[in-house]
């Protein structure tokens, strides 16, 4: 059975691109914001990887990840950030919430695929 990825992203173009890139290798689900992702993560099965944008309405990506780390069910969920926030502080903040990789937008297809494969290996 294919590994599952939950993409938490509010930009429809980025969502389509990720579904196209990752959909041939993985089962890809989408949540448009952090609040919807929290609801989805209360359900089984949990995804094998969470790909999170930082800037989203309702609940931003960093707040989502901080919340997930406090819950026993999702505390060890593998995650990565894909964001347009590219400053050193942004990257450090992402690493501090426990992500495996911080990929900046616009991203190269190969970079996304390589990082996802590495995390899920």
Its pTM stands at 0.95
DSSP string covering the chain: ---EEEEE---HHHHHHHHHHHTTTSEEEEESSHHHHHHHTTSSSPPSEEEE-SS-SSS-HHHHHHHHHTSTTTTT--EEEEES--SHHHHHHHHHTT-SEEEESS--HHHHHHHHHHHH-
Going residue by residue through the chain (121 aa), what tens digit of pLDDT does each one get?
799 999 999 999 999 999 999 999 999 999 999 999 999 999 999 999 999 999 999 999 999 999 999 999 999 999 999 999 988 999 999 999 999 999 999 999 999 999 999 999 9
**How crowded is residue 8: how many other Cβ atoms within 10 Å of its Cβ?**
31
Task: Tell me how far apart the terminal alpha carbons of the chain are, to the nearest angstrom.
Answer: 15
Nearest CA among 4, 5, 2, 59 for reference residue 35: 59
Domains of the chain: 4-120 (3.40.50.2300)
């Amino acid at each position: 059975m294919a590994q599952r990825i939950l993409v938490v992203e509010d930009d429809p173009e980025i969502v389509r691109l990720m579904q196209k890139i990752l959909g041939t290798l993985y089962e890809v689900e989408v949540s448009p914001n952090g609040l919807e992702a929290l609801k989805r993560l209360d359900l089984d099965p949990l995804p094998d990887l969470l790909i999170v944008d930082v800037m989203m309405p309702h609940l931003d990506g960093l707040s989502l990840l901080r919340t997930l780390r406090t819950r026993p069910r999702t505390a060890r969920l593998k995650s990565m950030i894909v964001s347009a926030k590219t400053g050193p502080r942004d990257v450090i903040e992402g690493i501090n919430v426990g992500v495996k990789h911080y990929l900046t937008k616009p991203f190269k297809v190969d970079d996304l695929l390589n990082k996802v494969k590495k995390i899920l290996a």
